[in-house]
Copies of this chain bind each other. A is one copy, B any other.
């Protein structure tokens, strides 16, 4: 619903409720200026027995000091009262402008109405209510036969691609009817987030409010999923697929983005090394502007690989734009292949493979190009 947090008459407050007790897991921003709702929700997840998520857009409740913390607590309390629950059963999450107090009167006034509007088909409205500068709603849903039952997963996310990442906290909420041990769910969510939300890089910024939550209420009555079992492996894939689906929707969104680029670093000494290079490439302004310009400027890739402070042997490096090798044995393959590479770069989505040739580890991320529109939009976003 519209509670009046955003100035425009847009949806800005959403409520997700489970009718049953849940296992809950969360992955949170590593930003040391984490917003009040992040701190509060971490605490509530730890106490267990989460039943609902209250989430607003338009105001991040970040850099708001002790008042911010008491506002986050009040949001949990008001939601708990309206639902007949305890405050520590509520996750609180906010996104939007930094450094302004939440309009708590309006939020308190809106919550009872939000509860009466709860309905199974309300996911789309909730997905819309968490957006800030996003253009598109981001949703996922799937079923799979796991542990003897058909399990369902649904999720929504927000993150405005490359336009306003600091206004554009990355949020993801997933819910499933799977019965799963809490510790197994936490491990599965962490792993799924690493391969999805943590594998997309827009401009290297992390927000004060990033949060991905997963609630599992066991309503499917499957035999309980535990760590180290084959049904855990299946559930891991199920959850990861849902998170990757949402994460790629985030990358695709954003008016500044004209390309979605999968960066694969392979044959690195360690997976950490592979990740370091993938992220250096994915955040390099010189690489990203070249991609916007559809310019197969492989010298920029070599220079970034070289500055990543990771062991390499330049003479063993290959670089492929899709299946076109532009660098082999550390040197350019010539004018012909650069011409073929240009055809690849004209596409909206393509993979780039950096083969270091010195080990067995790999890492994959998704990134975007860097366009003048990104700069223009971020320069003139009103504070």
Which of B33, B100, B207, B331 is A305 in contact with, Cβ under 8 Å? B33
- Shortest CB–CB separation between residue A279 and chain B, in angstroms? 12
- Shortest CB–CB separation between residue A132 and chain B, in angstroms? 13
A383 touches B205 (CB 8 A): no
Question: Count of chain A residues with Cβ under 8 Å from any Cβ of B?
Answer: 67
Closest residue of B by beta carbon distance from A65: B331
A379 touches B303 (CB 8 A): no
Q: In the complex, A295→B315 CA distance in Å?
A: 45
Q: Which of A118-126, A180-188, A285-293 contacts B (4 or more CB under 8 A)?
A: A285-293
Which of B33, B166, B307, B371 is A206 in contact with, Cβ under 8 Å? B307
B32 touches A63 (CB 8 A): no
Q: In the complex, A378→B30 CA distance in Å?
A: 32
Chain B residues near A309 (CB-CB < 8 A): 30, 32
Q: In the complex, A208→B303 CA distance in Å?
A: 6
B204 touches A285 (CB 8 A): yes
B303 touches A33 (CB 8 A): yes
B379 touches A34 (CB 8 A): no
30 A-B interface contacts by CB (under 8 A): A31-B306, A32-B307, A32-B310, A32-B312, A33-B306, A33-B330, A62-B303, A63-B332, A65-B330, A98-B299, A98-B303, A99-B299, A165-B286, A166-B286, A203-B285, A204-B283, A205-B286, A205-B304, A206-B306, A208-B302, A285-B285, A285-B370, A289-B374, A289-B378, A292-B375, A295-B379, A296-B383, A297-B383, A370-B375, A371-B375
